[in-house]
Structure 1
């Protein structure tokens, strides 16, 4: 967005993020990082032409650690971001998730499938937060007339993920580089689709630039078993680590694969980076970086925002 000339306000309380990830952008006068909590009023001056609501813990390790915060960011946070877009007449895009399909009984998953979600299970704080976020996004589109759209993101990976994020790709890469066993849940036959981060960013940007309501699935339709992923990580890293198997988490989906016909037809989007190439880029970035310790749950509000500056033309939350 900066490369194409946009002004970007980046709002984050860093409860799961790392300020180092945006350090290379801070010298750009069109980039405005604001340390704040999206569940509070948002300190962004006008004009605002687009709001991308990306905020939420997304790893099971994080939303189990921050359950109430996850529900708050999906409800109050989404409403605050929608109000910001409405006040400035801007486009709004919600980053939803394949988790709204739950443990799907339809495979692969098209956007018109309503899902199979356990509303009281261990994953429910994330699943239901996103389902509510989708509902309130469509209510603002149908009622106040906000130009709002929804993308449903399937497993995304790439550089700058925390090595102890808890999701499968950074976990396997960290373990392989350290010579530790790769821990596979269940027998490894459960499937996922893995989308490289650059492809996802192209998809989100295309949705921002459109007027589509969605929801639109963004993910790679190539289906892989978790066992196949572990074996490929061993090949890419050259690691001699072995694979170990353990219990399958409660409500863990057995199969996941997106139907991306809408993304192709409405946004002109398809993923370009094959899994092996994406893993090589990810491993290259991760190699030599020390694994940080598991973090304790921080406060929701990680600091006071600096004074807002005028001239914003786009905002990301």
Structure 2
């Protein structure tokens, strides 16, 4: 008996020994940077001015007076809500199409993933050419039809539209594949029983598919919303946050303050604001997810 306990103890110790390097690595690359950022947010830290002075909550108070932060928060909210909504709706539609039987279905499913598999910086650079005033594909079509060439990345509204649509085009494919896996997990017997009871395709989708997929949909909304809040590459390569601050996201503002202005203290305060937004999204999303599971 004691021999079995010693063997079990040795196995547990071996397991901890094997995972310790990974745990230490995560602590080094995640926990320490977070704690360091939180610490610096209370200081006026700038290598340009050579300052490292404790200022308390001054950096956080400055956030409430900064017009750039207000504009950035507005676009971050608009971008997150609109992008997530479009991705979920289009992802569900594409998943339904990919779930049908047709020739070259597996090939089509693989091609569907290509935009998501490409690097965001590549997608954004290509989109910059697509929306170019003189040489862009979209303007070429519009010019042939109407003789006009809109300034997509110069106008306030169209620049926001271009950033949002580029993000949706790149990431919808991933949600489509996730939703497809959910659709394939729904028993066919449920649809057959509904058909016998006289339910058409729309009713079956509303009363069978959506309720059973709801926990998965909410999970992906949480996942997608958090990544939209943290998006950086598309804005960086497509618009540089412009015109003005029209397409500037909080993550891009952190980059500007931290790596261009070299105001580390203020940039850290913005990063902590970004963290609390992500935390709120995660907590609220988890609450909705629990309710969705309870209804099943």
TM-score (norm 1): 0.22
Q: Which has the higher helix share?
A: 2
Q: Which has the higher strand share?
A: 1
TM-score (norm 2): 0.23
Pick the structure with greater CA Rg: 2
